[in-house]
A = this chain, B = another copy of it.
């Protein structure tokens, strides 16, 4: 196992310590339990947003903490849910009196622990709502999920909902907005290679040199099928067709096109995928009004990509464009 780490046991704590040192103007890192909050938390009279999940998907979620996006992120061990006590402590640290929204990717551990944290927070008098993201069209159920998995739309929901809370949106309204974003986004991913979880010390799965996994999950969970390698254009179509058919997206729609890198795929290649995806959408009369390309929701060093398409309206576009100041997203400020 070739990794820049000291020990698997210290990896997450040391990494968030580095994140905190690098961005001490934007965020504060709390240890034991581990969570990351914006530097000026709690923000009085603003609805707060918390997300979290297993580590290994960076910059998600710690890199999304800051003005205009998340108030806190709770990182678990690599590919493991954070615990309810982490979430509860983060909730208490960011609640500004208008309640807290949990944005939860649909994985069984995350769902259970965020539910438990919500109950604990409510018993301490903090209003909490939880919204689940389940945008992955690849499979119905999976290794760690009942129902669809939560993937790329999570990134977009956190940006859009974060902007809404900056604009004064209430807890119930931002929860409704988050459900709308989830209902408007669809994703599918693929892997060329596995990743290696540090504690395991060996690749999560084995892929022959001439094969790929279509519909892979962000923890290396199996997808729809293993097939022979294909060209980037063919792979793009294989991912995008089910995404577009599912909502369905149709001619005249305006969209945000998000080509995500799984961690080990060069940007050079992601833009080849973006080019083809943009063409497919354009040929169908679907407008690409906004774009995001890069490794935002990764699976350690896995090589591969996922494509997310989000149907935009004026409200979602305005909140996407709104100022944001976090380690991973910063514009307009």
Contacts and interface: CB of A to CB of B under 8 A. Distances in A.
A3 B261 CA distance: 12
Given A59-B267, A264-B264, A272 B6 contact: yes
A78 B272 CA distance: 14
A56 B266 contact: yes
A166 to B, nearest CB: 17
Interface stretch (A104-112, A126-134, A180-188, A227-235): A227-235
A305 B298 CA distance: 18
Interface in A285-326: 288, 291, 293, 295, 298, 300-301, 303-305
A16 B270 CA distance: 11
Contacts of A78: 268
A184 B19 CA distance: 25
A4 B63 contact: no
A100 interface: no
Contacts of A125: none
A276 B11 CA distance: 12
Given A267-B63, A301-B265, A331-B330, A11 B229 contact: no
A171 B305 CA distance: 42
A192 B269 CA distance: 21
Contacts of A304: 4
A23 interface: yes
Interface string A10-28: 0110111111011100000
A160 B7 CA distance: 37
Interface residues of A, number: 62
A93 to B, nearest CB: 21
Interface string A45-63: 0000000000110110001
A267 B298 contact: yes
Contacts of A59: 267
Given A263-B266, A271-B16, A331-B330, A291 B4 contact: no
A257 to B, nearest CB: 8
A210 to B, nearest CB: 8
A22 B22 CA distance: 29
B293 A14 contact: no
Given A4-B265, A5-B232, 15 more contacts: A4-B270, A4-B273, A4-B304, A5-B272, A6-B231, A18-B276, A22-B271, A22-B274, A22-B278, A59-B267, A63-B267, A264-B301, A264-B303, A266-B300, A301-B303
Interface of A: 2-7, 11-12, 14-19, 21-23, 55-56, 58-59, 63, 78, 192-193, 209, 212, 229, 231-233, 235, 257, 263-276, 278, 288, 291, 293, 295, 298, 300-301, 303-305, 330-333
13 contacts: A3-B269, A5-B231, A5-B232, A5-B269, A6-B231, A14-B232, A14-B275, A15-B268, A15-B272, A18-B275, A18-B276, A263-B264, A264-B301
Please name the 9 residue pairs, one residue from A and one from B, whose CB atoms are nearest each other, closest first: A18-B271, A18-B275, A58-B267, A4-B269, A18-B274, A2-B192, A22-B291, A15-B271, A4-B232
